[in-house]
Amino acid sequence: MGRSGAGAAGNAVFSDFLRVWGNHSVNVLVCPGIHASEWTQAFLAQVGAAIASPHRPKNHPDRPNTTPPLHWWVLPPEVPPYAPQPVADFFESCWTGVSELGPAFDPQAPLVWLGFSAGVVGAIATARAWQRRGRPTAALIAFDGWGVPLTGDFSLYRFSHDRFTAQTSEWPQASAGAFYAEPAVPHLDLWRSPSTAGGIWQTRGGEGDRHFTTALEALVKLLEQLGNAGRL
């Protein structure tokens, strides 16, 4: 996978992402786990297809969706996702570089970190470091990452492949929202096939909204909220 995505096929997916966000902008930094890169491409393709679906409502009903300065950056497989310094170095190069989709990060747009499994380690460490450097994170979304403490001065969200992982990963008042698959799905399937992982979404430690959905639907809704609100 290249520095701005997963090759030519990935860029086509990202182009579909861009058409549906109105004038809202968000920088999404993705830290996959240790697995075949094709699984990350499958994940991104499903998210892109869901966002680009003509059945989804437009951000602005009175005008067509346009391509905003939305940027997705994916950690390539040669960078160990559990090693904070290499992860930080890679995304630092993205911050100052230029991709096939245009300029590098939009400094005025929120930063959203999305990590899976071992990638949660690199994502949370870099998010905290960037926060201290004046690059505020809007949210961090952790797909599994069992045992990784999620703490930070930004919104935190967990997606878990089963209820046990969700219950044993949760820190009191740590998550703004959480999803767990019910029935359980294999750990890797949560990433490579979020559309087939049905389960429970709840907000604010279960005190708020709680309903059945899929991991894909919950993630897309969350990303759309970030695009609309700028910060959760």
**Residue 98 banded pLDDT, cuts 50, 70, 90:** low
User: Comparing 32 with 54, which gets the higher pLDDT?
Assistant: 32
Provide CB contacts within 8 A for 84, sequence distance 6+.
121, 122, 125, 126, 129
The CATH number given to 7-229 is 3.40.50.1820
The pLDDT of residue 5: 41
**Residue 54 banded pLDDT, cuts 50, 70, 90:** low
**Residue 38 banded pLDDT, cuts 50, 70, 90:** very high
Average pLDDT, rounded, for the chain = 79
Counting every residue written for the chain, the total comes to 232
**Residue 171 banded pLDDT, cuts 50, 70, 90:** low
DSSP 119-175: HHHHHHHHHHHHHHTT--EEEEEEE--TT-----SSEEEEEESSHHHHHHHPPTTT-
Whether the CB-CB separation of 109 and 69 falls below 8 Å is answered with yes
User: Comparing 168 with 42, which gets the higher pLDDT?
Assistant: 42
For the chain, the C-alpha Rg in angstroms (whole number) is 16
The mean-pLDDT minimum among 1-10, 57-66, 178-187 falls in: 1-10
pLDDT at 4 over 70: no
User: Residue 129 corresponds to which tokens in the numbers above?
Assistant: 């470091």
Please state, as a whole number, how many other Cβ atoms lie within 10 Å of the Cβ of residue 132: 8
User: Residue 90 corresponds to which tokens in the numbers above?
Assistant: 């890679």
Give the CA angle between residues 37, 1, 117 to the nearest 5°.
45
DSSP state of 201: E
Mean pLDDT value of segment 26-47? 93
User: Comparing 21 with 35, which gets the higher pLDDT?
Assistant: 35
User: Comparing 52 with 166, which gets the higher pLDDT?
Assistant: 166
**Residue 194 banded pLDDT, cuts 50, 70, 90:** very high
For residues 64 and 71, give the distance between their C-alpha atoms in angstroms, rounded to a whole number: 20
pLDDT at 43 over 80: yes
The whole-model pTM stands at: 0.81
Mean pLDDT value of segment 159-175? 80
The structural domains of the chain, with segments of one domain joined by +, span 7-229
